Amino acid sequence: MEALKTMEARYPIEFTVPAFGAGSFYIQEDLREEFYTHYHRHKEIQVSYILKGRGSVVIGNLIQPFFENEIYILKANDPHIFIKEGAEEDQIHVVHIFVAFDKMQSFFNMQELHRIRDIFNSLDSSKKLIQRYSLPVRTIFQSLLREEGLPKLMRVLEIFDYLIANEKEMISLYSGLPESNFNDKVGVRINEVLRYSLENYNREISIDAVAKLIHMTPSAFCKYFKKHTMKTYVTFLNEIRIEKACQLLINKSTENISEVAYQCGFNTVVHFNRVFKHILHSSPSEFIHRHAVNMAN
């Protein structure tokens, strides 16, 4: 089992990221100012504990917020990217477990480990555990950075056993995106579009400009994007903008809903409210109230 600090500089930009080393498990610690900055996938299952930080996560074509003390279980080959929110100098701290089940078939064929094998091999989607259910294993994730050899493996199995016991509390992150929708060429192109959208969501974005990024006509780009993401680009961009608006509202960066709308790329408050309600089925004010109630509980 191997440990590393980051994967950012190990490879050129790729959509399918190669495994690190020959190990069946490896532990990665992200303690820095940003996550790996490309939309990507890998053949290993990924289990990530957010020790510090907040932001947005894109899994397939689904975008939603993440918070400190949440666990994410990412299905093998699910395209994803974590995006930090907050000041540029703020650090994130995350511990990731990567598991190559195909290299450990004989190990997980032990009767005592069948339950772990079956749960992870049959994942129908990526999942998450919210803070309430994640906190009991926070210290175990932290211990993975100190342990080596068999003790580390035992800690990993302890985490897996806990996840299985709390399977019913896991929230599905199913995006409806078939794995067959992406090959490496498509993934690299979608990464370009996604990164551009995340960097420019707060200003006007034209279909022409996005299409030029991947050397397509606007018409061809619209068909291409919908074919591979099962959403129109406008829908996807609006979801990014509303997710960014939610971050501002949750973190009380501003109390002015009009200001939130303009900061997130909407030209009018009326349009912002309409899109917000269409995506989240509530008004911004109702969203703020619901979040406050959830945090109080």
Model confidence pLDDT, tens digit, residues 179-188 = 767 788 999 9
Q: What's the number of CA atoms in the CB half-sphere (13 Å) around residue 210?
A: 28
116: in domain: yes
What pTM does this model have? 0.85
Residues 199 and 141 in one domain: no
Q: Which residue has the higher pLDDT, 107 or 23?
A: 107
Strand partners, 93: 31, 52
Q: Which residue has the higher pLDDT, 288 or 135?
A: 135
Under the banding of pLDDT at 50, 70 and 90, the label for residue 23 is low
284: in domain: yes
Residues 140 and 23 in one domain: yes
- CATH for 271: 1.10.10.60
Residues 189 and 167 in one domain: no
Q: Are strands 25-32 and 2-4 parallel, antiparallel or unpaired?
A: parallel
73: in domain: yes
Residues 225 and 271 in one domain: yes
Please return the burial class of 12, using the count of CB atoms within 10 Å of its CB with bins 0-12, 13-18 and 19+. Answer: exposed
Q: Give the position of tokens 């009380």.
A: 252
Under the banding of pLDDT at 50, 70 and 90, the label for residue 45 is very high
79: in domain: yes
Residues in the chain: 297
- Lowest mean per-residue pLDDT among 17-26, 128-137, 203-212: 17-26
pLDDT of 172 > 50? The answer is yes
Residues 168 and 187 in one domain: no
**CA-closest candidate to residue 98, choices 40, 139, 57:** 40
- pLDDT for position 18: 72
pLDDT of 105 > 80? The answer is no
Give CA–CA dist 197/205, Å, rounded: 8
Residues 168 and 191 in one domain: no
Mean pLDDT of 210-218: 97
108: in domain: yes
Give yes or no for a contact between 188 and 15, defined as CB atoms under 8 angstroms apart. yes
- pLDDT for position 19: 65
Give CA–CA dist 1/105, Å, rounded: 16
Mean pLDDT of 211-235: 97
On average, the pLDDT of the chain sits at 88
Domain count, the chain: 2
Give CA–CA dist 134/234, Å, rounded: 35
Please return the burial class of 34, using the count of CB atoms within 10 Å of its CB with bins 0-12, 13-18 and 19+. Answer: middle
177: in domain: no
Residues 85 and 167 in one domain: yes
Residues 35 and 148 in one domain: yes
Residues 212 and 70 in one domain: no
Q: How far is CA 26 from its chain centroid?
A: 19
pLDDT of 2 > 50? The answer is no
Under the banding of pLDDT at 50, 70 and 90, the label for residue 87 is confident
Give CA–CA dist 202/199, Å, rounded: 8
Mean pLDDT of 38-56: 93
> Which structural domain, as residue segments, surrounds residue 9?
2-172
pLDDT of 258 > 80? The answer is yes
Among 150, 172, 194, residue at a domain's last position: 172
Our separate counts of H helices and E strands in the chain read: 12, 10
**CA-closest candidate to residue 186, choices 43, 47, 20, 61:** 61
Residues 151 and 189 in one domain: no
Mean pLDDT of 238-258: 87
Residues 96 and 166 in one domain: yes
Amino acid at 85: E
pLDDT of 11 > 50? The answer is no
Give the tens place of pLDDT for each residue, 277-290: 999 999 999 998 88
Residues 151 and 7 in one domain: yes
Among 172, 203, 228, residue at a domain's last position: 172
162: in domain: yes
- CATH for 141: 2.60.120.280
Among 172, 201, 222, residue at a domain's last position: 172
Under the banding of pLDDT at 50, 70 and 90, the label for residue 5 is very low
Mean pLDDT of 67-72: 96
Mean pLDDT: which of 147-161, 240-254, 283-297 is highest?
147-161
Q: Which helix (H) or strand (E) holds 282?
A: none
